[in-house]
Amino acid sequence: MTTEAYHPGLEGVIAGKSAVSSIEGGLQYRGYDIEDLARESTFMEVAYLLLHGKLPSEEEMADFLAIYTESAEIDAALIDFLSQIPLHVSAMDVLRTGISALGHFDPQLDEESPDADIAKTVRLLAKIPILIAARHRQSLGLELIPPDPDINFAANVLYMITGKRPAELRERAMDVSLILHAEHELNASTFTARVVTSTHSDIYSAVVAAVGALKGPLHGGGNERVLEQLEEIGSHEQAESWVREALADNRRIMGFGHRIYKTDDPRAEILKRYCKELAERTHNQDLEQTADVIEQVVREQKGLPPNLDWPSARLYHYLGLDLELFTPLFAAARVAGWAAHVIEQSANNRLIRPRSLYTGPPQQRYVPIVGR
């Protein structure tokens, strides 16, 4: 009988080393505090930081953005292929397939150097929002909108989806949301990407696998469940009775609790500020009040802080984005973090192959079929 420790869900297990991000004492990307990045930086600068390990100079940032802009198009055959996928297929499933198909058109698909993987990641950063927006507008029977080279990444995300160039607050709120979603240490989807990479597979395979992990409601898909939950309540007058009844029935309140953060998720605290301001601008104060009531009761009754899903679901709703877009937009940001981990895993690789604790029957004697 084994005496080795068993950790369900690998909780608390150190499964690797990484210089990409840290959550000890607050979230940091490459040593930079998330509060500072959310306040001062942009998503594309953060993507550069994650991929290159340092903040760019003005010249480096200009070159990075130029390559991104040149990559912001998708082959017409792929756009046509997206239109053939049945409308009942979820946006995340379409995105997963679309990213896989992008690999077939990548001129550096079989190159394995860090520089090649960075180049492939820049192309993914440019093309994934186009995939998301194209599928969404196709499903609504709307004309596709190409990216505008004169506006930034966050503004283009909103523009290609809604057809409107966003006001400054909306653009900044989306930019901050993308920064906060870009990376988060060894979460389920990132671990998936590193496992795939550890087999010496390619970056597209790793990203596609990560998208599959992100889709689940216990990971990226949780933000969709948050908004459904808030809309189920109806108004802030019903919020307290609803949440107390849900807790009494041991129902899971989506958007609360985190495997790592036991007091506050710093990302949720940052995004909450944008939710407040956008709620006022978009006349969604009642929904914001509902969220405040639920947050207060869950903290009092269960001691659970809200995680990033809690404010991000409201933020995307206030930005006028449909529910099915929430998790794909998470992926559009997180691809920067996934790629940083892929590159890091490749640089010092060891096949990730843990053990399992056997719980089946003891050794059995084989009996030929005629004697059973």
CB of 189 closer than 8 Å to CB of 213: yes
The C-alpha atoms of residue 53 and residue 180 are separated, in whole angstroms, by 17
Question: In Å, how far are 65, 318, 345, 348, 353 from 199, measured between CA atoms?
Answer: 31, 42, 10, 12, 10
DSSP state of 33: E
Per-residue exposure over 175-199, b if at least 16 CB sit within 10 Å of its own CB, e if not: bbbbbbbbbbbbbbbbbbbbbbbbe
Enzyme catalytic residues? 258, 309
Which tokens in the block code for residue 143?
């004309």
CB of 186 closer than 8 Å to CB of 16: yes
Nearest to 64 by CA among 76, 53, 52: 52
Annotate 122-137 with three-state secondary structure: HHHHHHHHHHHHHHHH
| Cβ neighbours of residue 348 closer than 8 Å, sequence gap 6 or more | none
Task: Report which residue type is found at 240.
Answer: E
The C-alpha atoms of residue 34 and residue 266 are separated, in whole angstroms, by 8
Question: In Å, how far are 1, 329, 343 from 337, measured between CA atoms?
Answer: 40, 14, 10
The C-alpha atoms of residue 246 and residue 176 are separated, in whole angstroms, by 32
The C-alpha atoms of residue 177 and residue 155 are separated, in whole angstroms, by 12
DSSP letters for 207-245? HHHHHHHHTSTTTTTHHHHHHHHHHHH-SHHHHHHHHHH
Order across the sheet with 32-33: list the strands. Answer: 21-22, 28-29, 32-33
